[in-house]
Amino acid sequence: MANTMERMASKPQKTISRNKLLVISGTGWMFDAMDVGILSFVIAAIAVEWNLAPAAIGWVGSINSLGMMFGAIGFGLLADRIGRKQVFMLTLVLFSVASGLSALTTTLAAFLILRFFVGAGLGGELPVASTLVSESVEAKERGRIVVLLESFWAAGWLIAALIAYFVIPSLGWRAALIITALPAFYAIYLRRNLPDSPKFLEASVQKQSIGEKMAALWAKPYRRRTLMLWIVWFTVVFSYYGMFLWLPSVMVIKGFAMIKTFGYVLLMTLAQLPGYFSAAWLIERTGRKFVLSTYLIGTALSAFAFGNADTLAMLLLFGALLSFFNLGAWGALYAYSPEQYPTSIRGTGTGMAAGIGRIGGIFGPLLVGSMLTAGYGFGLIFGIFCGAILIGVLAVVFLGTETKQMELE
């Protein structure tokens, strides 16, 4: 292994322009978002077809996050050993194939098993892709480019909403999931056109065991950063998956027809794009901490207002604001996370933070399902998400270190 890595480091590597890197990596990111987005609509459809209780619906989202937790941690460690590109391709194939196979299931148990593997691929791809891009662009524009990478998430959600609106009502949710298997073929394109991170290749001859990498995250130089990231990731993922996987179902429960609900969620999703672009514009001007904390505060207030909205106009307005602020915060978080660590543990550190976050993603959907079953209203449920996000804001403000335009270690 060591000799192989040394040969990789010494061999002249293919270079790629910043914009092409962004588009190639962003397309993989878009497919990731498309799969997560489709799941939120599929949950609403299978709940009707399989007559699922709210608690069972919650498990669908939570098992996905459980897989994402293992995927983020495991593939993050692997990315520090075999490279960012190889893991990027592997995770893309894993979640695409598993998602396509889930279209063939006839029981909730089989669906949950496959969604675990889908989650593992999704959870691994996101931190690895952001690390790859972060290590491949100049410090002066690194934050902006990574936020723009995250903006492809909105495109994926829009595609998912369009598939849900046009495909699910006429052909069913199975046809929608079969479409999500197609991105596996994109790995062939990645293999030929995407170079690995230059910083990884320069550092690839240095070896650390898994235990040494994990311990390094809590060494004195990085202890505070690790604590901050774990808190922020947990609160953001807990609230995001608790709220967004339930959005179509929330609209249905509030009395809107499923096909109209899909159209309404599509309108809310459009607000993600200006959220990303505004965060990308601000992040190199005002810094990571300001953008992340400001957009998280906006998310918290929008969540509280959405949970208490009782008219269609208010639901659409605050749902759009929720999309705007939450996805802008996601972009800032993905830009901020890889900047906390040196190259030798960057994949591990980013993956571990994302993995801890996925624990929150397990509990978020379950919380909604269990509280609805117990008779609690959306006002209280979304109020809990509001409070969780504000805890994340405090972690950024008091524990975070500004990394704007700093060279990566």
Share of the chain above pLDDT 90, in %: 32
Is residue 409 domain-resident? no
Tokens in use for 352? 């571990």
Is residue 407 domain-resident? no
Q: What is the pLDDT of residue 370?
A: 87
pLDDT tens by residue, 76-113:
889 888 888 899 889 989 989 999 999 999 888 999 99
Is residue 148 domain-resident? yes
> Looking at the predicted structure, is the pLDDT value of residue 120 above 50?
yes
- Residue 15, Cβ density class (10 Å: 0-12 exposed, 13-18 middle, ≥19 buried): exposed
Dihedral angle at the C-alpha atoms of 95, 192, 153, 248, nearest 10 degrees?
-40
CATH code: domain of residue 366: 1.20.1250.20
Domain count, the chain: 1
pLDDT tens by residue, 259-306:
677 777 778 878 888 998 999 999 999 999 999 999 999 999 999 999
Is residue 56 domain-resident? yes
pLDDT tens by residue, 336-382:
999 999 988 888 899 899 899 989 888 888 888 888 888 888 889 99
Label residue 41 by pLDDT band (50, 70, 90): confident
Is residue 116 domain-resident? yes
Is residue 224 domain-resident? yes
Range with lowest mean pLDDT among 63-77, 201-215, 350-364: 201-215
Is residue 391 domain-resident? yes
Range with lowest mean pLDDT among 18-22, 353-357, 392-396: 18-22
Which of 60, 395, 75, 40 has the alpha carbon at shortest distance from 236? 395
CA distance 318 to 305: 6
Tokens in use for 213? 């990498």
| Domain ranges, residue 107 | 16-192+209-399
To 5 degrees, how large is the angle CA 367–CA 370–CA 373? Answer: 145
Q: What is the pLDDT of residue 394?
A: 97
Is residue 74 domain-resident? yes
Q: What is the pLDDT of residue 10?
A: 45
